[in-house]
Chain A
């Protein structure tokens, strides 16, 4: 499943900021429904509020997984570079 380009291309920091803003909006709706338990706030909290919360958490999980994958890939590249650096002098010694 492909994620929208607007999400894939964005840096982690700005995605996390969007996630936090969505969370705050969701929390406002949920808190409103508790303080004024009438049909409109309760329905908004249980639909839009929880939708915002789910979307925000989904974005957060996406950012964390992407960062983990990127840091894993960076470590692998660094390890391979180290291994290549170590292999070069050995090859030079063998040649001499």
Chain B
């Protein structure tokens, strides 16, 4: 309990204000007091101030919860991705990032969020699209069908990797592949997460034949038309 409160103070605050507001509401319904000024002041807290505090802190808590891997994995078609990330034996790029103590619990969000000025909003709008797709297209789909059908919507941006991996350190530049492909990586013509480099990030989701990087192409694609991550 104490751990939950310390890890989710906004959620705890929201629950506390919701509980007090609920007590005031139930008091009004049960005791049926006269509509005096005191009653209205009590209701101002029960209907206005405390529920507003619950909504505000609950929103922050909700947005934080939406970043977690558990949240992403709660739709059944995402469970293989979530399970792979959680698997300490897995060698996939996603799993290796999930073992990072700084953001490991939120590794889906860390790698799939847009980091632009309006990145959070764009990411949330994209999330709404996911909910729509899941509700109307994927809800009753088997995992095997979903594995073949689910694909990343836009080519994975190298800028997302470069949010943490600056590509400026001597150690990074010392890698021959990095040194020879610097401009291609910067322009996005070669994806960090492409097969043959560091990817694919979710290898189990790819068809058995995964193409290597197309040096002259734009985003690497596989034969089924899916865009590689």
**With known contacts A16-B35, A42-B65, A34–B55 Cβ distance under 8 A:** no
Please report the C-alpha to C-alpha distance between residue A50 and residue B66 in the assembled complex, in whole angstroms. Answer: 18
| B29 engages A21 (CB within 8 Å) | yes
Please report the C-alpha to C-alpha distance between residue A33 and residue B62 in the assembled complex, in whole angstroms. Answer: 7
- How many pairs of A and B residues are in contact by the CB < 8 Å rule? 95
| B40 engages A31 (CB within 8 Å) | no
| B15 engages A34 (CB within 8 Å) | yes
In A19-78, which residues have CB < 8 Å from any B CB? 19-21, 23-24, 26-27, 30-31, 33-35, 37-39, 42-43, 45-46, 49-50, 53, 56-57, 60, 63-64, 67
| Contacts A19-B47, A23-B47 supplied; 15 other A-B pairs, CB < 8 Å | A20-B46, A23-B21, A23-B25, A24-B22, A27-B25, A30-B14, A30-B18, A30-B55, A31-B15, A35-B15, A37-B70, A42-B65, A45-B62, A56-B47, A60-B44
Which A residues fall within an 8 A CB radius of B? 12-13, 16-17, 19-21, 23-24, 26-27, 30-31, 33-35, 37-39, 42-43, 45-46, 49-50, 53, 56-57, 60, 63-64, 67
Which B residues fall within an 8 A CB radius of A? 8, 11, 14-15, 18, 21-22, 25-26, 28-29, 32, 35, 40, 43-44, 46-48, 51-52, 54-55, 58-59, 61-62, 65-66, 68, 70-71, 74-75, 131, 134
| A57 engages B25 (CB within 8 Å) | no
A23 nearest CB across to chain B (Å): 5
B184 nearest CB across to chain A (Å): 38
Which A residues are in CB contact (< 8 Å) with B55? Answer: 30, 49-50, 53
A67 nearest CB across to chain B (Å): 7
Please report the C-alpha to C-alpha distance between residue A20 and residue B50 in the assembled complex, in whole angstroms. Answer: 12
Query: Which of B25, B54, B71 is in CB contact (< 8 Å) with A39?
Result: B71
